[in-house]
Amino acid sequence: MGFDRSKLDALRSKYGEGHGGDIFDPRFRKVADKIFTKGGTRRAPYAGMPTLLSAPHLPVDFANPDFEDLQVALIGMPMDLGVTNRPGSRFGPRALRSIERIGPYNHVLDCAPTFDLRVADVGDVPFASRYRLEQSHEDIEATIAKIVGAGVIPLSVGGDHSITHPILKAIGKDRPVGLIHIDAHCDTGGLFDQTKFHHGGPMRNAVLDGVLDPSRTIQIGIRGSSEYLWEFSYESGMTVIHAEEMSAMGMPAIIEKARQIVGDGPTYLSFDIDSIDPAFAPGTGTPEVGGFTTREALELLRGLKGLNFVGGDVVEVAPQYDGTTNTAHAGAQMLFEILSLMVFSPAVKR
């Protein structure tokens, strides 16, 4: 084909003098109207105070909290007293806040969650002690209970995976919830070194506390040398999909299995960054080779659209083990995908 001068002239007429906010496709126009000013500018990703997913900041006094009309609260939990090996995920919330280009548009789920939802970064859990793990868990449970009591969905950023137990105690207080757990480890271990409160046992603790329904729990991506610790998962009735099974099953089948297991009941989503292969996310306390690519993790999360999510978390980002910031970037992206799912969750108040 020869060069089409008339088509070039038409493109120049339509696009040559416009600005970035001049978008004509109706699907994209509605997104641009939320993000661009009438003058054609949008917030610079590197400007302003850093917040989780660049969401608005809502200062909250948790002694007497006012969540205004929020639907979703993003909250940090900088606590890693429950790790078995490498510490450092206490810096996870700060690392995710520093990632400056996540969203605002999710082109696969076709939403802009920080604009489509009334969402804010409400800061961090006010911990009474930086040394006492059990006290920290009590602080988490009390804080999440206040968020849930106000009819707001909590999305938490850890911190080590032990934070999920007190979160589930607050969310599942009135009825046990289901769980989609994406991780390299089942985290259903027992008492170690004189305590059961560690990042290798939150799902076991939650089941025994009656706040997590194991028959509506699926654990995806499990691998590594700790398999001998996870018998509770099988004994209690959880569904476990090992990383070694994923290629044969295929992601569509895994997504369908997860949807079948949790059904339409209230469900929590917990994403441990070590589910992703350390080639993509090395900055974590217990890396395990043979995990998800970031593309596979995104496909899995996006396939959960429409489920009845009542909360979620991203945990175990330990940025000091990653000089590239890739792990924090991946963690922030997974948080964005979970927030995007909340646009479609029946649990979010309308």
- 294-345 pLDDT tens trace: 999 999 999 999 999 999 999 999 999 999 999 999 999 999 999 999 999 9
CA end-to-end distance (rounded Å), the chain? 53
CA 159 from centre of chain: 12
**Under DSSP, is residue 246 helix (H, G, I), strand (E, B) or coil?**
helix
- Number of Cβ atoms within 10 Å of the Cβ of 69: 9
Predicted TM-score (pTM) of this structure: 0.96
Gyration radius (Cα) of the chain, Å: 21
Residues in a beta bridge with 272: 315
Q: Which helix (H) or strand (E) holds 218?
A: strand 212-222
> Torsion-angle region of residue 2: left (phi > 0), alpha (psi -120 to 50) or beta?
beta
Average pLDDT taken over every residue of the chain = 96
Q: Residue 259: what pLDDT?
A: 98
Closest CA relative to residue 293, chosen from 83, 285, 301: 301
pLDDT in tens, 177-232: 999 999 999 999 998 898 899 999 999 999 999 999 999 999 999 999 999 999 99
Closest CA relative to residue 326, chosen from 338, 335, 337, 318: 318
Beta strands in 159-211 (DSSP E): 177-182
Q: What are phi and psi of 75, to 5 degrees?
A: -140, 140
**Under DSSP, is residue 42 helix (H, G, I), strand (E, B) or coil?**
coil
Q: How far apart are CA 10 and CA 17, in angstroms?
A: 12
Closest CA relative to residue 148, chosen from 178, 171, 123: 171
- Please state the rounded mean pLDDT for residues 252-258: 98
pLDDT in tens, 137-187: 999 999 999 999 999 999 999 999 999 999 999 999 999 999 999 999 999
Q: What are phi and psi of 205, to 5 degrees?
A: -60, -40
pLDDT in tens, 27-70: 999 899 888 887 788 888 888 899 999 999 999 999 999 999 99
| Residue linked to tokens 């009845």 | 308
